[in-house]
Amino acid sequence: MNMQIARRATVVAMAAGLGITAAAPALAETTVPAPKELANAAVGPTAPVPQEARRGESDPVVKRAQQIMAKFGIPAGPADGLTGQQTRQGLCAFRRISGLPVNRYSLNTETYRKLVEYDNKYSRLNQIGVSSFQGKSTFVHVQQACQTMFYVKDKKVQRVLPVSTGVRGHETPFGYYTLANTTRGWYCSTLYPESCRKQTTGEFAYISNFGNMYNPRQVVGAIFVHGSTSVPTYPASHGCIRVTVNDSDWLYHNVDRMPIFITGKY
């Protein structure tokens, strides 16, 4: 515990040496100074999630597909037999995992047969193997067509997370980068301060509870992976990769500094 406190003190001291401006506007909020590159992160405004487009009656085949995806922890919305944007997001993620052509189309025969095959073959997600990525067997992959992040360890899929990447004109850059370590707590991007506010969620809100990005991890330049209270099924940021607050805490505890690949187009 003393080592953790000392390390945190060192981080704060280093940040102070960079000439950082604290983000807190009120005494009731707890903040710590944010590094300059964090303050300028391409977070973007909080975007409302559009209502799911649902047509027709509940389809038992779609419901079964949703149940299989839920078994593997693939985010696909409720198992209600209705095809909305969350279901298309989940189907896209499954296609990436299973080697099918990656797209956000509705359920088709090929995808359903593959889902049933995987349901019979595997009992949990981390039994499913995938190919290495540019020679790496452990990595994070952000597939922008799916708006999904995959954590792969030793060529086994460990977790699938929904994300929201950059809008048109502020696209999240394709490429191979290194996902940096986590700066714990909430921080405010000075580029988009209008969405900064006092926050109540997150394991590390006690460190800093004012901002619009939680547990930020730098990818490149002003592009960060960070927790957000707004993670729609479509691109909504100004370049950063948003994950949910809970998933951001999970990443902190389970995913160290490692390669991150960003591919695909929404």
Per-residue burial over 170-205, b if 16 or more Cβ lie within 10 Å, else e, is ebbeeeebebbebbbbbbbbeebeebbbbbeebbbb
pLDDT single digits (tens) 81-104 = 999 999 999 999 999 999 999 999
* Contact partners, residue 10, CB within 8 Å, separation at least 6: none
Helices (H) and strands (E) in the chain, counts: 6, 11
Taking residues 19-43, what's their average pLDDT? Answer: 49
Gyration radius from the chain CA atoms: 19
* pLDDT reported for residue 10: 38
Q: What angle do CA 142, 144, 150 make, to 5 degrees?
A: 25
The pTM for the full model equals 0.81
Helix (H, G, I), strand (E, B) or coil at 67: helix
pLDDT single digits (tens) 162-196 = 999 999 999 999 999 999 999 999 999 888 889 89
pLDDT surpassing 90 at residue 54: no
* pLDDT reported for residue 26: 34
* pLDDT reported for residue 86: 97
* pLDDT reported for residue 15: 34
**Structural domains of the chain in order of their starting residue, each with its CATH number:** 2-49+160-263 (2.40.440.10)
